Amino acid sequence: MNEIMEGSHAIAHAIKMIRPQVIAAYPITPQTHIVEALADIVADGLLDADYVTVESEFSALSVCLGACAAGSRVYSATTSQGLALMYEVCFNVAGLRLPIVMSIVNRAMGAPLNIWNDQQDSISLRDSGWLQFYAEDNQEATDLHYIAYKVAEDQRVLLPAFVCLDGFILSHTYEPVDMLTQEQVDSYLQPYRPTQKLDAKNPASFGMYATPDYYTEFRYETDMAVRRAGVVWQEAATEFFNLFGRDYSEPLEKYRLDDADIALISMGSLCGTIKDAVDELRDNGKKVGLLKIRSFRPFPTEEMRKALTSVSKIAVLEKNISLGTKGAVYFEVLDSMYNTQVPVMDYVLGLGGRDVRKRDIHAIVDMTEKGKPELFYGLKKELL
């Protein structure tokens, strides 16, 4: 059923049909509309779930941790400073192998305070053990939640997952969204059945003390689960495509890339603007294409290398900065293209919600052609 919906409300209705048994979240801009809508859904009796009102984001994810360990399917959402407050619990959730799914409505980190979009918040937790999936538009943001639960709860994975969408640009924008019915979701996503859980009748301990003799092996097992998640994602997304006709089976999406000389690489809503710019550049005779990253964790290293075999130059456009070096996505691409002799250039842009327009993409392509990248693209030097 196709409806014009605000992105946040589409996600809230998708979560309703996923049937979490426990929801715990603390409202923070621009995530608030998701959890407000879910609170109404639970209060109106449209979802049989416990909605736990908490005093902070740290408490929200702690509630989710306990509920998931007890055998419940759970959900949360947050952004920016809220995700930073969850930092300790994020590592605990992943280390305990609890398949919690959380919407991250990407927003810049303070200080200075900024409520607009970039992807610094989720990127900063790239090493925590959470899977990370990024949406270009609201249809994708909605659908990725169904697939994320199926992957996270798979016995080969058992890891938590972020579904990331750009704050305001997607969360507060109305777009046509093809919503699945409850019957369709139930046919795709079975109830969560944990292999082990906290149970007073069968006592067990989770997350026990690990001495140096054992800790490395725990990290290794988590790393292997993240890697396996790539295969499980392809299986789950292929099943989704066969049932509903929307294809997210590849961790990367190519747009006019097959004969491209220059590849632009990005993720999130920026990819929509890049596609429009690519069309204009093609009309002007420039062989430019886009490689969109859908899965940042696990990162599709081999798939990226294969997708970029014929390009001569690569430009990474990203909304984060690993201060003192370059953007985080740049290093992943550089690793993928190791020993290929293809130059990889990094452009950090759109920080704190600064607009990125088609003319900016044109300018970046020009700089890439000349081999003269500008790390902080569009820097207002007169303010420095």
Question: What kind of fold does domain 2-244 have according to CATH?
Answer: Rossmann fold (3.40.50)
User: In sequence order, what are the beta bridge partners of 99?
Assistant: none
The predicted pLDDT at position 82 comes to 98
Contacts of 194 by beta carbon, 8 Å cutoff, 6+ apart: 71
Closest Cα partner for 164 from 129, 136, 139, 127?
136
363 pLDDT above the threshold of 80: yes
- The overall pTM is greater than 0.95: yes
Tell me the two tokens of residue 361.
């993409």
| Mean pLDDT, residues 326-350 | 97
Q: How confident is the model at residue 176 (pLDDT cuts 50, 70, 90)?
A: very high
Does residue 252 contact residue 308 with C-beta atoms inside 8 Å?
Answer: no
pLDDT greater than 80 at residue 235:
yes
Angle at 205 between CA 202 and CA 208, to 5 degrees: 165
| pLDDT digit string, tens, across residues 27-72 | 999 999 999 999 999 999 999 999 999 999 999 999 999 999 999 9
- pLDDT bucket at 206, cuts 50 / 70 / 90: confident
Q: Angle at CA 215, nearest 5°, toward 211 and 219?
A: 165
Do the first three CATH levels of 2-244 and 252-383 match, i.e. the same topology? Answer: yes
Mean pLDDT of 285-296: 98
Q: Which of the 8 DSSP states describes residue 376?
A: B
- Amino acid identity of residue 122, one-letter, is S
Separation CA 315–CA 172 (nearest Å): 29
The mean pLDDT of the chain is 97
Q: Could you state, in order of their start, the residue ranges of all structural domains in the chain? A: 2-244, 252-383
- Cβ atoms of 24 and 63 closer than 8 Å: yes
Q: Could you report the per-residue pLDDT of 128-150, keeping only the tens digit for each?
A: 999 999 999 999 999 999 999 99
Given a cut of 90, is residue 205 above it in pLDDT? no
pLDDT the model gives residue 207: 84
Q: How far apart are CA 207 and CA 217, in angstroms?
A: 14
CATH class of segment(s) 252-383:
alpha beta
